[in-house]
Amino acid sequence: MHAERISDALREAAAGWGVDDVRFRLDRPKDTSHGDLASNIALTLASRVNRRPRDIALDLKARLGGIEGIERIEVAGPGFLNFFLESVAVGGTLHRILEAREEYGGNEDGGGRRIMVEFVSANPTGPLHLGHGRQAALGDVIARLLEWSGWEVHREFYFNDAGLQIARLAETVWARYRQLLGHDEPVTEGGYHGEYVVEIARDFLEREGDRYEHERSKAALEAMRRFAVSSLRDEQRRDLAGFNVHFDEYYSERSLYSDKRVEKTIEALDATGLTYRHEGALWLRTTEFGDQKDRVMLKSDGSATYFLPDVAYHMGKWERGFHEVINVQGSDHHGTVDRVRAGLRALGRPGGYPEYLLHQMVTVERGGEEVRFSKRAGSYTTLADLVAEVGVDVARYFFLMRRPEAHLTFDLDLALDQSDKNPVYKVKYAHARLCRLSRLAHEKGWDGMDGPRAPDADTALLAAPAERELINQLGEFPGFLRRAARDRAPHILCDYLERTAGLVNTWYQTGHPTRKPELAALVYDEPLRSARLTLAVAARIVLRNGLKVLGIRAPEAM
């Protein structure tokens, strides 16, 4: 690539002045009049070599003039170097895209190493809500980004099927069950008031009959617990499948107890000498590792807090061979980050383990007003309701298009709009338009563009500004994908795709057959037509691959 050759040459020149660790940028300027590539190296070098930036820039311009593919270099502003590439060099991007095809955009940063992404991890006490939806989309797409970056990814869902909340769920089922049998049985304080528990109780009654009517025994509650958990987990799994999200493993909190992992973790922590008894509870000195206060491991009644199985679980991840782990969680859980890491550090794991990605909450607005539209869950909007309303693709995209750490307002009016105003449709339409061009070319017998091998089109003919800009944009796809993966930030890809779609539309429209027939894609001039169809195919590949990373369909016709 030209960018690499140029940046090598720049680095070499800096080394010639005795600066081996020069930091600089070489990227595409916002303003096309600043060239195809621009660098600030003269500005960063100025203080190091004690010369004026413009002089350095002029010096560099003279040295780099001979590099192949560069048409000219300009020194601008305080000392920026602007590189204008030859059309051949720009057009070469298209051939690379057509060579790589459905692989285009990926990289090998991961080198085949294993990484776990844990996400959603909802309690099996109710249907998934919008926060889970955002998390499902984020976790899944981060996993996809990592796969495109050469990682072997394991998607995991941890579910808390032990503990107090589950006991309360069982008690709620019992209350609803009794109600169905005509008794006056209130849902206890801290119980689950959503309608869905009534459905579960009804199903349970249908299957098990009234045998537990007068028996609020341990066995009865245990039977109801099992039934409710299994039914809610099934529902969550269905909702996730409907959201195009699948897990490699569902990991049970209870299994940490039956495997004795929790027990072993207590022993291991005890052995560090960092535990102590206070007011009947067993504490860990997590403050040794930067936590704000020490944490209770075992309550005075002998039961474990959540902290303990969390540590046991993450020790387990490490022992299973996952030394790279990303936990996607709602930011309301940020309080647990320091304590879990502290517990793990006490056991000798490195300080940054595991990595956390915390995302902010979601609200839904219609007509500028916040809405909640769950009939079954009562207090919150479910993921399933949202998907039913706007569709999977739109829901996924909207959850992804903002930075995770920013609050997300889900604009239902925009989500339901099927025009280009809706960013999802904008990208899909651009893709479909490009497909139509290929189809039309095929109908006219102008084939050869779309075969498995890159055609020999003379892409240097693509010299119109809209074409140059689009080509440069397509060439940047791998860089954006890499950055999105490294930053765990799918929205970077959303922004990229929207901008690309915009440039596609501009290009498509500036070649309007009526007003600018000489810029139309399907011109009679064969070499030009081939070049433009090559551009169309390359752009289609980028949009398609980009949508694929987001887990969104790219139809050939809308």
Partner RNA sequence: GCGCCCGUAGCUCAGCUGGAUAGAGCAUCGGCCUUCUAAGCCGAGGGUCCCAGGUUCGAGUCCUGGCGGGCGUACCA
Judged by CB under 7 A, the chain residues 23 through 52 that form the site for RNA are 23, 25, 27, 29-31, 33-35, 38, 40, 43-44, 46-47
- CA 496, 499, 504, 505 torsion-angle sign: positive
Query: What strands, in cross-sheet order, belong to the sheet with 26-27?
Result: 26-27, 37-39, 80-85, 70-76
User: In the complex, what is the shortest distance from the CB of residue 482 to RNA, in angstroms, rounded to a whole number?
Assistant: 10
CB 181 → RNA: shortest distance, Å? 29
The DSSP call for residue 332 is G
Q: Do 141 and 549 touch, CB atoms closer than 8 A?
A: yes
Strand partners, 480: none
CB of 463 to RNA, least distance (A): 16
Q: Beta strands of 382-448 (E only): which ranges?
A: 408-411
How near is the Cβ of 448 to RNA at its closest, in Å?
16
Nearer to RNA, 97 or 284 (CB): 284
Instruction: Identify whether the C-beta of residue 225 lies closer than 8 Å to the C-beta of residue 123.
Output: no
The one-letter amino acid at 333: H
Q: Which is nearer to RNA, 205 or 224 (CB)?
A: 224
Binding mask 457-486 for RNA (x = CB under 7 A): --------------------------x---
**C-alpha pair distances (Å), 167 with each of 124, 170, 199, 259, 401:** 11, 5, 18, 21, 38
Q: By C-beta, is 338 or 385 nearer to RNA?
A: 338
Token output for 273: 């000498």
Binding RNA by CB under 7 A: which of 157, 322, 425, 477? 425
Kindly write out the interface string for residues 159-188 of this chain, putting x where it contacts RNA by CB under 7 A and - elsewhere. Answer: -x--xxx-----------------------
Of 335, 348, 350, 451, which one interacts with RNA (CB under 7 A)?
335
CA–CA distance, 76 with 83 (Å, rounded to integer):
11
One character per residue 62-101, x = contact with RNA (rule: CB under 7 A): --------------xxx-x-x-------------------
Whether 70 and 84 have beta carbons less than 8 Å apart is answered as yes
Minimum Å gap between C-beta 464 and RNA is: 11
In the list 332, 370, 447, 526, the residue contacting RNA (rule: CB under 7 A) is 332
Please state the closest distance from residue 214 (CB atom) to RNA, in A: 29
Binding mask 521-540 for RNA (x = CB under 7 A): xx------------------
Question: Which of the ranges 113-121, 226-234, 436-444, 541-549 carries the binding residues for RNA, by CB under 7 A?
Answer: 436-444
Of positions 108, 279, 319, 369, contacts RNA by CB under 7 A: 279
In angstroms, what CA-CA distances link 496 with 479, 483, 492, 500?
10, 11, 6, 6
| Tokens found for residue 258 | 């039956």
Q: How many residues bind RNA (CB under 7 A)?
A: 92
Query: DSSP assignment, residue 163?
Result: S
> What's the token pair of residue 109?
């940063």
Nearer to RNA among residue 205 and residue 521 (C-beta) = 521
Contact 419, 535 (CB under 8 A): no
**In angstroms, what is the minimal distance from the CB of 215 to RNA?**
26
Q: How far is the CB of 28 from RNA (least distance, A)?
A: 8
For residue 278, what are the β-bridge partners? 281
Interactions with RNA, residue window 94-133 (CB under 7 A): 123
Q: Smallest distance, Å, CB 292 to RNA?
A: 6
Using the contact rule CB under 7 A, the part of the chain among 85-93, 216-224, 380-388, 495-503 near RNA is 495-503
Identify the DSSP state of 404: T
Copy the structure tokens of residue 367: 């007509």
Torsion angle (degrees, nearest 10) of CA 277, 279, 281, 284: -50
Between 40 and 87, whose beta carbon lies closer to RNA? 40
Q: How many whole angstroms separate alpha carbon 147 and alpha carbon 504?
A: 27
**451 contributes a contact to RNA by CB under 7 A:** no
Contact string 288-307 vs RNA (x = CB under 7 A): ----xx--x--xxx---xx-
Single residue of 419, 445, 452, 453 touching RNA by CB under 7 A: 419
Rounded to the nearest 10 degrees, the angle between the axes of helix 423-443 and helix 526-549 is 140
DSSP letters spanning 35-86: -SEEE-HHHHHHHHHTS-HHHHHHHHHHHHTT-TTEEEEEEETTTEEEEEE-
Interface with RNA by CB under 7 A: which range of 11-19, 127-135, 237-245, 272-280? 272-280
**Of 225, 426, 431, 488, which one interacts with RNA (CB under 7 A)?**
426
Site stretch for RNA (CB under 7 A), options 140-148, 217-225, 334-342, 541-549: 334-342
Return the biggest CA–CA distance within the chain. Answer: 94
Token pair for 21: 């660790």
Rule CB under 7 A: say whether 334 interacts with RNA: yes
CB 21 within 8 A of CB 11: no
Q: From the CB of 465, what's the least distance to RNA, in Å? A: 11
Record the tokens describing residue 243, joined without a space.
């959201």
Q: How far is the CB of 112 from RNA (least distance, A)?
A: 25
Indicate the residue among 123 and 179 with the shorter CB distance to RNA: 123
End-to-end CA distance of the chain, in Å? 35
Query: Rule CB under 7 A: which of 358-417 touch RNA?
Result: 358, 360-361, 368, 401-403, 405-409, 411, 414
**Rg of the chain taking only CA atoms, in angstroms:** 29
